[in-house]
């Protein structure tokens, strides 16, 4: 029998230490809810889990980015909706002004509202902002980071929507005195046309100034190619000397030009709104997709990172029992050398 080296106690102590360490690990996992609390718990699992956590975090931020993008687009589209309403009102006023039942004073009154709408369209384009970024003045491109990785972006372009960019800033429903004089000069020139005349470029231009449809007329053609030439010449004779009639003709010509320009502006604004609507729908689907992907990645990460509480509790209970048993057995192992005393008492 040996007393200097108690092998039984050493073996029991080793088992006790192992059970205590295992019990401590179980306590750590149960208290944190995580299967991996330090790299030593699962080195490979930790690396995979951290990469997933980075992706999930990036997707969460990308979702917020996409939501900000939707807000920006809604701001721009809302302003364009008002601009389009104003343009359509201007077109209605142009159609109204082109009617011969109106007097010069009527057209002057209509022009007041027409001009105010022109100014407001430009103001809206300059003052519509999102986070201090102008949206409708100038050609702007906005890039939204909608993914967790570099290069996962979506770009939206918004064209200049000012009255100047839409080519409606210089429109007017009332002709200037210079324009009226041009109509009278054109009328005077038209009065010399006859069916036998040979049309020159100036003749075609003059007919256009009088509101005559010159479609199909070519330089070198005979005057007989002008439909209703005799009536046109008779009317031109009156316009050449009647300033009031010339003013009305010039005003109606201006209104017709405005109708054409405003129709194009309506189409331009509608096209931009359609582009913004399509981009908003894309971002909405992107947000839904990011949410689904993030949910699935979170589930996969949970399988790696989170502890199974029921299973770990079973492990803890086992290690707790082993710890208590080892403690008791260590006490017994430590008392074994005492049997040597019986020999010494012999």
Please check whether residue 307 lies inside any domain of the structure: no
pLDDT digits (tens, 9 = 90+) for 83-111: 999 999 999 999 999 999 999 899 999 99
Strand, coil or helix: 156: strand
Based on the fold, state whether residues 92 and 223 are members of the same structural domain. Answer: no
> Which range has highest mean pLDDT (12-26, 196-210, 260-274)?
260-274
Instruction: Output 201 or 40, whichever has higher pLDDT.
Output: 201
Q: Which residues contact 278 (CB under 8 A, 6 or more apart)?
A: none
Residues 194 and 238 in one domain: yes
Please tell me whether residues 199 and 164 are part of one structural domain.
no
Shared domain for 99 and 147, answered yes or no, is yes
Q: Name the pairing type of β-strands 153-158 and 140-145.
A: antiparallel
What pLDDT does 306 receive?
84
Based on the fold, state whether residues 293 and 211 are members of the same structural domain. no
Is position 69 within any domain? Answer: yes
Segment 134-141 shows an average pLDDT of 92
Could you tell me if 145 and 184 lie in one domain? no
pLDDT band at 211 (very low <50, low <70, confident <90, very high): confident
Residue 20 is assigned to a structural domain of this protein: yes
Residues 322 and 273 in one domain: no
Give tens-digit pLDDT for 237-277: 999 999 999 999 999 999 999 999 999 999 999 999 999 99
Which is nearest to 148 in space by CA: 67, 48, 59?
59
Band the pLDDT of 305: cuts 50, 70, 90: confident
305 in a structural domain: no
216 and 278 together in one domain: no
| pLDDT at residue 331, as a whole number | 85
Q: Looking at residue 270, what is its pLDDT?
A: 97
Whole-prediction pTM: 0.79
Q: Is the pLDDT assigned to residue 52 strictly greater than 70?
A: yes
225 and 269 housed in the same domain: no
> Is residue 155 situated within a structural domain?
yes
Indicate whether 1 pLDDT > 70. no
> Any idea what the CATH number is for the domain that residue 138 is in?
1.20.1330.10
Q: Which pLDDT does position 307 carry in this prediction? A: 86
What is the chain's length?
346
**pLDDT in the model for residue 150:** 93
> Are residues 286 and 153 located together in one domain of the fold?
yes
DSSP tag of 158? E
Q: How confident is the model at residue 198 (pLDDT cuts 50, 70, 90)?
A: very high
In sequence order, the 6+-apart residues with CB closer than 8 A to the CB of 244 are 104
Confidence of residue 126 (pLDDT cuts 50, 70, 90): very high
Residues 97 and 227: their CA atoms lie apart, in Å, by 26
Question: Looking at residue 337, what is its pLDDT?
Answer: 77
Tell me whether residue 306 is in a domain: no
Say yes or no: 65 and 122 in one domain. yes
Shared domain for 141 and 273, answered yes or no, is: yes
Give the mean model confidence (pLDDT) for residues 42-50. Answer: 89
Q: Which of 247, 264, 287 is the last residue of a domain?
A: 247
Tell me the pLDDT band of 312, cut-offs 50, 70 and 90.
confident
Residue 40 lies in a domain: no
Boundary of a domain, candidates 227, 247, 267? 247
Handedness of CA 6, 7, 11, 12 (dihedral sign): negative
User: Count of domains in the chain?
Assistant: 3
Q: Say if residue 346's pLDDT is above 70.
A: no
Domain that holds residue 209: 177-247
- Domain membership of residue 45 (yes or no) is no
pLDDT of the residue at 41: 81
């Amino acid at each position: 029998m040996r007393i200097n080296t108690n092998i039984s106690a050493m073996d029991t102590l080793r088992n006790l230490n192992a059970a205590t360490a295992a019990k401590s690990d179980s306590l750590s996992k149960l208290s944190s809810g995580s299967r991996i609390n330090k790299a030593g718990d699962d080195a490979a699992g930790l690396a995979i889990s951290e990469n997933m956590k980075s992706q999930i975090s990036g997707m969460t931020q990308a979702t917020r980015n996409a939501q900000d993008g939707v807000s920006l687009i809604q701001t721009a589209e809302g302003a364009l909706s008002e601009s389009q309403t104003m343009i359509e009102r201007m077109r209605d006023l142009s159609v109204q002004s082109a009617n011969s039942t109106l007097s010069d004073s009527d057209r002057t009154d209509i022009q007041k509202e027409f001009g105010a709408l022109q100014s407001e369209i430009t103001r809206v384009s300059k003052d519509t902002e999102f986070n201090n970024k102008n949206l409708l003045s100038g050609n702007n491109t906005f890039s939204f980071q909608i993914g967790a990785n570099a290069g996962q972006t979506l770009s939206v372009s918004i064209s200049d929507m000012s009255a100047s960019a839409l080519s409606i800033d210089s429109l007017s429903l009332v002709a200037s005195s210079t324009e009226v004089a041009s109509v009278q000069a054109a009328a005077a020139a038209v009065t010399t046309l006859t069916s036998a005349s040979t049309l020159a470029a100036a003749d075609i231009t003059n007919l256009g100034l009088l509101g005559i449809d010159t479609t199909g007329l070519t330089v070198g053609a005979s005057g007989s190619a002008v439909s209703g030439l005799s009536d046109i010449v008779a009317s031109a004779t009156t316009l050449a000397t009647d300033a009031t009639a010339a003013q009305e003709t010039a005003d109606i010509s201006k209104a017709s030009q405005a109708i054409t320009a405003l129709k194009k502006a309506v189409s331009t604004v509608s096209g931009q709104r359609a582009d913004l609507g399509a981009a908003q729908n894309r971002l909405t689907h992107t947000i839904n997709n990011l949410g689904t992907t993030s949910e699935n990645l979170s589930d996969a990460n949970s399988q790696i990172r989170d502890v199974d509480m029921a299973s770990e509790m079973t492990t803890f209970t086992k290690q707790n029992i082993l710890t208590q048993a080892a403690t008791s057995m260590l006490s017994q192992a430590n008392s074994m050398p005492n049997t040597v005393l019986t020999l010494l008492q012999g």
